[in-house]
Amino acid sequence: MQLALREMRRAKTRFGLLIAAVALLVFLILAQQAIQTGLITSFVGALREQSAPVIVYSTDGQRALQGSIVPPPLEAQIRGVEGAAAAGRIGQGTFTVRVEGDDDLSDAAIIGAEDRSVGGIEEVDEGRPVERPGEAVGSTGDFEIGDRVQVVAVGVAGAGEGPVLEVVGLVRGAQIQVTPTLFTTWDDHVAATQTVNPEAPTVLPNAIGLRPEDGITAAELAARVNDLTEEADALTRDEAAREAPGVAQVQQSFQIIFLLFALVVPLVTGLFFLIITFQKSASLTLLRAIGIRGGALVRSLLVQVVVVIGGGLVLGTLLYLPLTRVEVGSLVLRFDGAAVGVWSALLLVLGLLSALVAARRVLKIDPYEATVGGGAR
């Protein structure tokens, strides 16, 4: 180790630039990871944050909350499934809204739950949950506590004024379909829907939320619903978020980017140490001639690889940390400790493997070459 660190001290600029290059690549990897997570959260964060352990769509809904419609006969079958401790209607729609004091119109998704414990928001980051009609919990970054949000019917003949929802709580990372989101009561969802569609005779739920009885898991309850009828598509909360339309496509796109990054870091590190080995072949040959074993030189090389990649990982993570403390528009970026750990282990292993080419060259050095003025072959 002393040999490795002594060499690094003599070539501070060379090794410092390599550490900086690795740090930049690590920062880009972690930033891309945070952006991927933020995008997926903007698509399905509302499904993750809502309280129903099981969400039941109609099969025709293709696992999209707004695209699903649960007719009364199917609703009755779902509510009667064995093992369900509670059930409640869930409705979602995208509406034109105006925040009181702001003349501009914008879009917002409104999710109404018949029972807050099976489809609403139970825990908030600020404020309190919804307790009565006319109140809403909003997605952080899109609304503020105290905002009064009115549903507006634009260009709808015979439409009256829509309901006014007062934001009483905020929850982070709870958007759906990359749209500002409000969680409210079922009655408010019905009122909003009838505002933009006054001729609708009744408003049907988009899904039914279920909570299993004690001793029954969410997966078991979902399986019972799916066995009950082919018209129902029951998913656990995590499955509903993971399998929502658009999520898989986002993940696949970023996986290609991550694969390229995972190749670049070890290639850069391995190529650097291979070039260094070529450049100092004469000194390595001399060291071998005076009795330094090849294994010691290889260990010295691997120590340098660990220091370079470890230093890059630390600096890259420090650069990444401030990025996760800001919000890019409505996109929430969070620090992901698990991602840092996985990428650190992966890049360190790949970097050590890439250095094996240079290590193999060190082991091939013939001490006899020092006596005839040669170098490593």
CA 305/CA 18 separation, integer angstroms: 10
Q: Is 98 helix (H, G, I), strand (E, B) or coil?
A: strand
What are the tens digits of pLDDT across the range 174-188?
899 889 999 999 999
CA 70/CA 68 separation, integer angstroms: 7
What are the tens digits of pLDDT across the range 2-42?
655 666 677 778 778 888 888 888 888 888 888 888 888 88
Torsion angle, alpha carbons of 227, 228, 231, 237, to 10 = -70
Give the predicted TM-score (pTM) of the model.
Answer: 0.75
Span of 265-269, 275-279, 341-345 with lowest mean pLDDT:
275-279
CA 21/CA 27 separation, integer angstroms: 10
What are the tens digits of pLDDT across the range 75-125?
999 999 999 999 999 999 999 999 988 878 899 999 999 999 999 999 999
Per-residue pLDDT, averaged over 336-349, amounts to 84
Q: How confident is residue 344, by pLDDT bands cut at 50, 70 and 90? A: confident
Closest to 94 (Cα-Cα) out of 154, 160, 53: 154
Cα 200 off chain centre by = 38
Structure letter (DSSP) for residue 361: H
Q: Which helix (H) or strand (E) holds 108?
A: strand 105-113
pLDDT tops 70 at residue 196: yes
Q: How confident is residue 331, by pLDDT bands cut at 50, 70 and 90? A: low
Domain borders along the chain are 2-43+247-372, 50-236
Q: Which helix (H) or strand (E) holds 352?
A: helix 337-354
CA 124/CA 91 separation, integer angstroms: 20
Q: How confident is residue 315, by pLDDT bands cut at 50, 70 and 90? A: very high
Q: Find the DSSP H helices in 197-327.
A: 218-228, 237-242, 247-279, 281-289, 294-323
Cβ atoms of 109 and 176 within 8 Å: the answer is yes
Distances (CA, A) of 328 to 48, 54, 282: 21, 31, 53
Per-residue pLDDT, averaged over 56-70, amounts to 92
Cβ atoms of 27 and 49 within 8 Å: the answer is no
Q: Say what percent of the chain tops pLDDT 70.
A: 82
Largest Cα separation within the chain, whole Å, is: 100
Cβ atoms of 161 and 32 within 8 Å: the answer is no
pLDDT for residue 294: 60
